[in-house]
Amino acid sequence: MKTSIIQKALGVQWQHLPEALKKHYLENDKGENRAQGHLTIDFPWFMKIPLSILRFFGALINKRGNNLPTNVYRVVSNGEQRWQRRIDFPNNKPVIFNSVVYHNKNNEIIEFINSVLGMKMKVHVENNTLRYESNGYVIKLGKLRMPYPEFLALGHGRIIEKPVDDNDENSFEMDFRLKHPLFGKVFSYKGVFQTIES
């Protein structure tokens, strides 16, 4: 198994991560990991147009849905972690949401949701859960990375991941939310997933 980007970011905290989450973040000898599950996606009505614009540029999802079949594929190569999320909506073509994650420094990662916009997130283990807290956004122009404040973008991001059951080392649940200081919760998705052994 290769050392994952989250493992690097967590450092010594990695040993306190529940087994179900370790399996989710470890890659096989090819640098790959797969998971499948179901997502529920929600956002307020006034976010439909902003999310549709972001979707045009490959970022996030601009459709709501409950219990949507979702497959997640991740591969690590040359210090970057590429995520592909395939979400199956009823009577529609699957929606693909890609992102690229880098270890930035210490316990901080950057996830780019397209070639320009990224979110800095600090990770830590707390009470048997893995927690991400955003630490501002980044605008990437070539090799230049410029900080961008949360209130001028989608607000503060938070992800919580935890095991479904202490006796199940393959299943975990995740909850991702974006909360803007003026507009409140502007986007969320949550679901239960199972890591696929490979």
Which residues are within 8 A (CB) of 124 and not within 5 positions of it... i.e. 6 or more apart?
Answer: 10, 13, 107, 130, 131
Q: Rounded CA gap, 193 and 172, in Å?
A: 5
- Report residue 84 as tokens: 């592909």
The alpha carbon of 12 is separated from its chain's Cα centroid by a whole number of angstroms, namely: 22
The total number of structural domains in the chain stands at 1
Q: Which residues contact 92 (CB under 8 A, 6 or more apart)?
A: 63
Among the listed ranges 22-36, 121-135, 174-188, which one has the minimum average pLDDT value?
22-36
Q: Does the pLDDT at position 84 exceed 90?
A: yes
- The encoded tokens of residue 131 equal 């927690």
198 has a pLDDT exceeding 80: no
pLDDT tens, position by position, 140-179: 998 899 999 999 999 999 999 999 998 889 999 999 999 9
Confidence band (pLDDT; 50, 70, 90) for 2? low
pLDDT, residue 78, reads 82
Q: pLDDT, tens digit, for every residue of 45-64?
A: 999 999 999 999 888 999 99
The pLDDT of residue 177 = 98
Query: What domain range includes position 52?
Result: 5-196
Q: What is the mean pLDDT of residues 74-85?
A: 90
pLDDT at 3 over 80: no
Highest averaged pLDDT of the listed ranges 22-26, 89-93, 115-119, 171-175: 171-175
Q: Which residue has the tokens 């001028």?
A: 152
Maximum alpha-carbon separation in the chain = 46
Give me the phi and psi of 58, to 5 degrees please.
90, 10
Point out which residues pair with 100 in neighbouring strands: 82, 112
Token pair belonging to 184: 């409140």
The fraction of the chain above a pLDDT of 90, given in percent, is 84
Residues 6+ positions from 7 with CB-CB distance below 8 Å? 14, 25, 26
Which CATH number do you get for residue 29? 2.40.128.20
Identify which of 179, 163, 165, 84 has the alpha carbon closest to the alpha carbon of residue 130.
Answer: 163
